[in-house]
Amino acid sequence: MILAVYDKPVLLGGNPILKQPIPIARPTLPEINEIQDEFWQIYNSEMVTNSGFVQRFEERVADYLEVKEAVCVSSCTSGLMLVMKALELTGEVILPSFTFFASGHALLWNNLVPVFVDCSPLTYNLNPEIIQECITPNTTAIMAVHIFGNPVEIEPIQRVATDNNLKLIFDSAHAIGTRYKGKLVGSFGDAEVFCLSPTKVLTAIEGGIITTNDQSLAKKLRMGRDYGNSGNYDCEFLGLSARMEEFNALIGLKGLEHIEETVAKRSRLKDIYQENIYQIPGISFQQIDVGNTSSYKDLSIIIKKDEFGLDRDQLAYALDMEGITTRKYFYPPLHQQILYSRYQQYPLPATEFVSNNILCLPLYSHMEEKIVQDICQAIWRIYRYREELWQHCR
């Protein structure tokens, strides 16, 4: 279905299609009556951190992802930091530049050197064909990131890691509910780390969870989230204060009950976007390889100015005037940020193309389909009036 709306865009004096502004994301939380009994149970127990609900959440996540161990932490970033420390990594770690800066921060906090590798211009994920040529005698690990919940090419990356005796960590911040060749991510590599912040497919309001099949690593991570304390007030290694609160675990547990339904809903919303605007010249969607399933943490499009008639920034501005929030995500890529600029070693043309032209559109799990259709109408009419808008935005 292609929508055509002939009223002018707001920038040219038209009326907004949407009655209320639309944010880029909203947390989908359980109803208060679903959690009030357990809330008071936690409150009255006076055990508000790292107790029964945290343990139950860890068990449920491990069962869902079919992995031996799940370790709750205060954030995905702290989880990544702890994994790097627990694996005793040194030297260089290969990772994409097209990622959220927490991926890189976890390395710098561990005195590791990030080596940025280019992404695929279609999937936006780490390109496994380039990794081998970036390995040096100082390389100790690969960090792969499932961008927006789209699974990376796990098997070829795992082969490179195995052949070169490298650790393999997955930044799975976006990827709860993601499937690689039909299998849920969560049990691959040495460890995976998921994010449970408000914008994620599964939220605990705040928090993260590490999954691994290495039980000795899990034991070390549980110490690490409690300063490195083994339980007798005698720290064995440098840890953090990174415990998850019981209230967060409760929210996570309730969300986990509906995770498959949630991922299916987000996939349906993506389909509505794609069905309605895929024929607009100059707009393309992130490629999900056959056999894989994305969690669609974010819904992104690439805008090619020569075909669409406006560039990414102009479309974002026109949508903002319609009350539609968008995000240039991830822009700039890590290697172009002040903190990381001194680490670029290789050309990253695909990364720069994607970052310069990508735009994320609103998507959240309880979003009404009508809102998506209205956003598509707004994009269509911006495209229809592209020449006038180009003159207006110059």
CATH of domain 10-26+259-393: 3.90.1150.10
- The pLDDT value recorded for residue 50 is 72
Q: Does domain 32-256 have CATH number 3.40.640.10?
A: yes
Of 204, 195, 172, residue with least CA distance to 28: 204
Which ranges of the chain have pLDDT less than 70?
A: 1-6
CA distance 268 to 272: 6
- The pLDDT value recorded for residue 6 is 54
Question: Which residues, in sequence order, are CB contacts of 278 under 8 Å at separation 6+?
Answer: 285
- The pLDDT value recorded for residue 65 is 99
Alpha helices in 6-97 (DSSP H): 32-45, 52-65, 76-86
Residue 68 among the catalytic residues: no
Alpha helices in the chain (DSSP H): 32-45, 52-65, 76-86, 101-109, 128-131, 154-163, 215-224, 246-256, 259-277, 305-308, 312-321, 349-357, 369-384, 386-393
- The pLDDT value recorded for residue 312 is 98
Of 136, 214, 147, 139, residue with least CA distance to 174: 147
User: In this structure, are residues 123 and 149 in contact, taking their beta carbons and an 8 Å threshold?
Assistant: no
Of 8, 68, 167, 200, the catalytic one is 200
User: In this structure, are residues 343 and 335 in contact, taking their beta carbons and an 8 Å threshold?
Assistant: yes
- The pLDDT value recorded for residue 311 is 98
CA distance 174 to 48: 27
DSSP state of 102: H
Report domain extents, the chain.
10-26+259-393, 32-256
